């Protein structure tokens, strides 16, 4: 609790912060006053207010000096952390987005063989095993936090794993790649809006410029021909499902940030993935029975695609994403999702030998420029 004098210190401190004054000047003056009081007993009998900080006594000035020094140190650290995203966080984000870009190819590879709900269940089961092994190796445990905590985890698992993956996978059965990529652009926009509403994160002019710039870059990468192929009426169900899945991920990203502070990225991601895998098993069994599907019919290539989705996309990518989310604002993390379409084109060029035009090159430059502006915003 702050007493009257400490409250005055805080008030004066805030005033100096507003006017961008140097706290070192205040500390130096207080140190000089403390020395004067230590060696001048008369001034102790008749202390004079200084700088609006209350009665001047040696003990109180010592506390004020420590208070101001600690605040100055914290302010410097917070300012430094907020201004620039750490390099490991950037690398984690780009790696996660690369895995997610490749997930489109892996999902398309497995869907002709495996029904969508079953595919999602297998994907989550594999990633759950990865998380359990990782926790065991690191000797970490997820501590019980009560029924309210469990309810929040269940809600996050709906938006971030089961419903998100299930809705997106079913949507990819009906929609085209161009439609899905275009809807994926709305992910960072959803994150920015949700973060502003629930976390109080401000959308500055630079952030708005970065979001708009990245959006233009994605459209350039897609090209005029791809945009002309966009047909909402022909693929309305798939388009709607993909759009809903992207919005779910935005909610998961924003709401998951608070739980990340409490549990850590590894603990939260492992918990929601495990919960998602559990409640996806019954729908998968129902789907397998209704379609007379057997796991024995899954080909080697399909199993490879499922393993890739579970290990890299659901385990590694999600872990890297939340690691970055701990280091900076949700809006700055979310805008990196804009890099997924350009990466998808590159992966398709490498593995499918698709031609790469100038629109990919210039569009990618604009996308990364948008990421830069948003990061600096």
**CB-based contact 122:306 (threshold 8 Å):** yes
> Is residue 343 within 8 Å of 101, Cβ to Cβ?
yes
Q: How far, in Å, are 253, 293, 304, 315, 375 from residue 298 at the CA level?
A: 33, 9, 10, 22, 43
- Per-residue pLDDT of the chain (377 residues), as tens digits, is 444 444 443 343 344 344 444 444 554 555 555 555 544 444 444 444 444 444 445 555 555 555 555 544 444 444 444 447 788 888 998 899 899 888 888 888 899 999 999 999 999 999 999 999 988 888 888 888 888 888 989 999 999 888 988 998 998 888 766 566 666 766 776 777 777 777 777 888 888 888 888 888 877 876 776 667 666 655 667 777 887 888 888 888 788 877 877 887 778 888 999 999 999 999 999 999 999 999 999 999 999 999 999 999 889 987 888 788 777 776 677 777 778 888 877 887 787 676 667 877 788 788 878 877 776 76
pTM: 0.65
Residue listed under structure tokens 């069994």: 285
Question: Based on the number of CB atoms within 10 Å of its own CB, is 355 exposed (0-12), middle (13-18) or buried (19 or more)?
Answer: exposed
Distance, in Å, from the CA atom of 327 to the CA atom of 89, rounded to the nearest integer, reads 7
């Amino acid at each position: 609790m702050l007493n009257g004098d400490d409250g005055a210190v805080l008030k004066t401190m805030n005033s100096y912060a507003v006017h961008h004054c140097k706290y070192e000047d205040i500390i130096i003056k207080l140190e000089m006053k403390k020395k004067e009081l230590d060696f001048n007993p008369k001034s102790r009998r008749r202390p004079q207010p200084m700088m609006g900080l209350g009665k001047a006594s040696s003990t109180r000035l010592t506390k004020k000096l420590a208070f101001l020094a600690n605040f100055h140190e914290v302010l410097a650290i917070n300012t430094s952390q907020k201004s620039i995203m750490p390099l490991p966080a950037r690398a984690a984000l780009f790696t996660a987005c690369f895995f997610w870009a490749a997930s489109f190819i892996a999902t398309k590879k497995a869907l002709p063989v495996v029904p969508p709900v079953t595919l999602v269940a297998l994907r989550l089961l594999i990633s759950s095993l990865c998380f359990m092994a990782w926790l065991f190796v690191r000797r970490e445990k997820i501590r019980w936090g009560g029924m309210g905590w469990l309810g929040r985890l269940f809600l996050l698992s709906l938006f971030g794993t089961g419903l998100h993956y299930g809705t997106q996978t079913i949507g990819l059965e009906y929609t085209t790649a161009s439609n899905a990529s275009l809807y994926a652009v709305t992910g960072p926009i959803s994150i920015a809006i949700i973060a502003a509403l629930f976390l109080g994160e401000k959308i500055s002019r630079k952030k708005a410029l970065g979001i708009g710039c990245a959006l233009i870059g994605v459209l350039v990468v897609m090209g005029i021909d791809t945009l002309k192929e966009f047909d909402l009426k022909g693929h309305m169900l798939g388009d709607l499902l993909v759009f809903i899945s992207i919005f779910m991920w935005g909610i998961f990203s924003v709401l998951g940030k608070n739980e990340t502070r409490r549990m850590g990225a590894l603990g939260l991601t492992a918990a929601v993935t495990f919960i998602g895998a559990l409640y996806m098993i019954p729908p998968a069994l129902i789907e397998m029975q209704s379609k007379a599907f057997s796991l024995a019919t899954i080909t080697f290539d399909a199993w490879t695609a499922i393993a890739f989705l579970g290990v890299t996309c659901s385990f590694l990518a999600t872990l890297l994403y939340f690691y970055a989310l701990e280091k900076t604002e949700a809006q700055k993390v979310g805008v990196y999702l804009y890099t997924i379409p350009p990466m998808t084109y590159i992966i398709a060029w490498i593995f499918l030998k698709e031609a790469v035009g100038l629109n990919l090159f210039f569009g990618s430059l604009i996308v990364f420029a948008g990421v830069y502006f948003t990061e600096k915003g």
